Amino acid sequence: MNSFERFHKRLQGMPVDRPPNFDIFMTYAAHFINQPLSVYYQDYRVLCDANFAVLEAYDLDIVQAISDPYREAADLGLPVQFPEDAMPVSTEPLLKEHADFNKLRLIKPENGRRMHDRLQAIQFFRERAGGSVPVMGWVEGALAEAADLRGVSQLMMDLFEHPDWVTDLLEFCVDIEIEFAKAQIRAGADIIGLGDAVASQISPEMYEQYALPYEKRIFKAVHEMGAVARLHICGDTSLILQQMAKSGADIIDLDWMVDFAGAAELYADGPALCGNFDPVDVMLNGTPERVKKAVIHCAQAGGPKSFSGAGCEIPDKTPHENLLAQTQALKEFTVSS
């Protein structure tokens, strides 16, 4: 059974040889092939090489074009700096004043330097691994994109002080994200991941009004193109679990603070879960034995449709043996279950 078959069968709750490993790799992968992050984030060939390297080393079941949050925003004009070996940095918001919104213009993904780079990554993945390993593209949620353009703190206050302006901005952002998702699917993506990190910082009522409707629209477009939708909201999403299921996501990532078993029960006939051991305490700082225990616990708690993964990105400098422990645990899980 190859990774592509394992992914599809697991998604439908059918028997598989082992739960798929859907860990998110970025910084770790770049350094795994001794490349600085500035190159990883800007050159799709390096991003792809790094993905294939960790895929092989740890028996992953996915290749992924996820990177920093600023692909779309940079192409819209957000100033982004790329320190040699650190995360890209946005030093000032693009939308300093509300009137700056009028300067925004929709851009085709193919015409944006950073969005196009992601499309090339997906094409490269597709050519080398299509049909044997699922290829995942990535977009920002509309709310996350709005925060990228406006700045998180300012947008959070705009939600109260200028709700109509925020709604207009979200309408603009959702159009960008839908087009970007479609372009990635055309390029060969099997899965579109949607990151909406800021959604864990607002109330359930605000999530329902300012995040969920746009997640729904993006995922509807993803489904219409025949791809699978994956929702990733960093942080504690315990209070919005029920709403997240309404997004239409086929796979929902849960960060480590969320009760995985409780969520699996809540989602019984709904989306598959991915997660959710602690990436720092368990994967970075734990022992191989602790990793194994956590991986098996999550695989049991998540039910027959669950995917294995840390609650968020695998941290840089994670011990090699801890990642191998996850691989081993997933193989043993099948044997013992």
**Choice between 233 and 272, CB closer to other proteins:** 233
Angstrom distance (rounded) from CA 264 to CA 308: 13
Q: How far is CA 218 from CA 10, 49, 58, 100, 106, in A?
A: 23, 29, 31, 25, 16
Question: Please, what is the minimum distance in Å from the beta carbon of residue 5 to other proteins?
Answer: 33
Only segment of 2-10, 188-196, 246-254, 314-322 that touches other proteins (CB under 8 A): 314-322
Q: Are 289 and 322 in contact (CB under 8 A)?
A: no
The yes or no reply on residue 156 touching other proteins (CB under 8 A) is: yes
Task: Out of 56, 92, 105, 317, name the contact with other proteins by CB under 8 A.
Answer: 317
**Choice between 14 and 86, CB closer to other proteins:** 86
The yes or no reply on residue 92 touching other proteins (CB under 8 A) is: no
Task: Out of 130, 213, 235, 304, name the contact with other proteins by CB under 8 A.
Answer: 235
Structure tokens at 154: 């300012």
Here's the x/- map for other proteins, 25-64, by CB under 8 A: it reads as --x-------------------------------------
Q: How far is CA 293 from CA 269, 317, 330, 333, in A?
A: 26, 21, 10, 10
Angle at 321 between CA 300 and CA 44, to 5 degrees: 90
Q: Are 50 and 60 in contact (CB under 8 A)?
A: no
Here's the x/- map for other proteins, 99-138, by CB under 8 A: it reads as ----------------------------------------
Task: Out of 39, 53, 57, 87, name the contact with other proteins by CB under 8 A.
Answer: 87
Only segment of 45-53, 130-138, 201-209, 324-332 that touches other proteins (CB under 8 A): 201-209
Q: Spell 110-147 as b/e; 16+ CB within 10 A means b.
A: eebebbbbbbbbbbbbbeebbeebbbbbbbbbbbbbbb
Question: Please, what is the minimum distance in Å from the beta carbon of residue 316 to other proteins?
Answer: 5
Task: Out of 78, 170, 206, 233, name the contact with other proteins by CB under 8 A.
Answer: 206
Structure tokens at 198: 């800021």
Question: Please, what is the minimum distance in Å from the beta carbon of residue 201 to other proteins?
Answer: 4
The yes or no reply on residue 316 touching other proteins (CB under 8 A) is: yes
The yes or no reply on residue 161 touching other proteins (CB under 8 A) is: yes
The yes or no reply on residue 209 touching other proteins (CB under 8 A) is: no
Residues 238-297 that bind other proteins (CB under 8 A): 239, 279-281, 284-285
Angstrom distance (rounded) from CA 6 to CA 16: 6
Provide CB contacts within 8 A for 40, sequence distance 6+.
26, 29, 30, 46, 47, 50, 67
Only segment of 52-60, 108-116, 119-127, 148-156 that touches other proteins (CB under 8 A): 148-156
Provide CB contacts within 8 A for 41, sequence distance 6+.
47, 67, 68, 82, 88
Task: Please report how the helices 44-58 and 113-129 are oriented relative to each other, as an axis angle in degrees rounded to 10.
Answer: 40
DSSP per-residue letters across 47-69: HHHHHHHHHHHHT-S-EE----T
Angstrom distance (rounded) from CA 254 to CA 257: 8
Task: Out of 2, 132, 153, 334, name the contact with other proteins by CB under 8 A.
Answer: 153
Task: State the residues that interact with other proteins by CB under 8 A.
Answer: 27, 86-87, 89, 152-153, 156-157, 159-161, 201-203, 206, 235, 239, 279-281, 284-285, 315-317
